[in-house]
Structures are given as C-alpha cells and as structure tokens.
C-alpha cells in the first residue's frame, strides 16, 4: 500500500473506506485514512465510480488570546530616603535636612498628579518652593521610578 501525503485540495472525489486514529508520543496525533480513487481497474477494464465528493475540514488549534498590557498607572511603593538611599520613616523626619520621596510603580511615565505628603510635625519645600498643605501639586512623573528631592522645614503654622 502506498502512503500519500496530500493537501486539502487533493481530497476531491474520493470516498473514505477506512479510518484509524493513533497517538504517537514523538510525532503527536497520526491519522490513517484509506480512500478510494475515482477510477478503478478490474480485470484490465477501466471502471469509473460515481459518488459524491467528500470534503474534509481540518480543525486548527485556536491561538490563546494574548493578555492586554495594563495601561493604567499603578503605584507600587512610596517611601522616603536620605541622601545615601537609606529609608526614613515618616515619623522620623527632622527640619533642615534634605530627603528624597521615592515613587515606584508601573505605567507612571508622563502621568501628572498631586502628591499629598501630610506630616503634622514638619513641612516641605520642593525646588525652593514651600508646599502649601504638604501637597506637591501637578507633579509630572518621569518614569516608573521617581526620586523627588525635598527639603524638610519647620512647620509654618507654629
């Protein structure tokens, strides 16, 4: 018996007479399909068979949908550090020192917002400008990692 590998268009005007499905661990699923030909030869006489054509649709595996990248900004972490990068607790801030507000997140680049620093013991300056009510207004985040220099000052309401 001759093995024949064919395309979808080759399977016209044939009749399946035998079908076997096997699974091979190296080659995957193997389908054996025996087909008749339109013309047959019996005792040296040519016979043409008339029957309806069979068409086969091959089920192709669907691709898994790719997850859509998250576009909304997401702040993961906010904390204060000293000039050496050591973390400082909000309660330990003292006047007349320079600190850094570190903001880490995802999809933050180019986003604008008001940063509320709220600390009853101290006030803040950013680039020499006093922050009214401890709010850094309309700050534009440059990347997913932002390090903002602040100067801690005595509260103005004392």
**For residue 57, pLDDT beyond 80:** no
d(CA 136, CA 123): 11
First to last CA, the chain: 101
Beta bridge partners of 36: 15
Average pLDDT score, the chain: 77
Coil vs helix vs strand at 105: strand
Residue 86: per-residue pLDDT: 93
> If you average pLDDT over residues 69-92, what whole number do you get?
88
Domain boundaries, the chain: 1-63, 74-153
Report the predicted TM-score, pTM, of the whole model to 2 decimal places: 0.54
Given pLDDT bands bounded at 50, 70 and 90, which one contains residue 139?
very high
Instruction: Give 13-18's long-range contacts (Cβ < 8 A, gap of 24+).
Output: 13/38, 13/53, 14/38, 14/53, 14/54, 15/49, 15/51, 15/54, 16/54
Judge whether 96 and 152 are in contact, CB under 8 Å. Answer: yes
d(CA 122, CA 99): 12
- Give the CB-side neighbour count of residue 158, counting CA atoms within 13 A: 7
d(CA 144, CA 134): 23
Residue 158: per-residue pLDDT: 55
| Least reliable range by pLDDT among 17-21, 52-56, 94-98 | 52-56
Residue 99: per-residue pLDDT: 94
């Amino acid at each position: 018996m001759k093995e024949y590998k064919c395309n979808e268009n080759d399977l016209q005007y044939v009749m399946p007479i035998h079908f076997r499905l096997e699974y091979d661990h190296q080659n995957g699923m193997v389908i054996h399909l025996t087909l008749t030909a339109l013309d047959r030869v019996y005792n040296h006489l040519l016979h043409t068979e008339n029957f309806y054509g069979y068409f086969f649709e091959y089920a192709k595996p669907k691709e898994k949908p790719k997850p859509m990248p998250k576009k909304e900004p997401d702040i993961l972490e906010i904390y204060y550090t000293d000039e050496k990068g050591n973390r400082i607790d909000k309660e330990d801030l003292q006047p007349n020192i320079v600190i850094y507000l570190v903001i880490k997140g995802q999809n933050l680049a180019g986003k604008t917002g008001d940063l509320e620093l709220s600390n009853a013991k101290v006030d803040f300056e950013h680039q020499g400008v006093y922050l009214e009510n401890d709010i850094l207004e309309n700050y534009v985040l440059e990347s997913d990692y932002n390090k903002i220099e602040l100067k801690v000052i005595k509260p103005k309401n004392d």
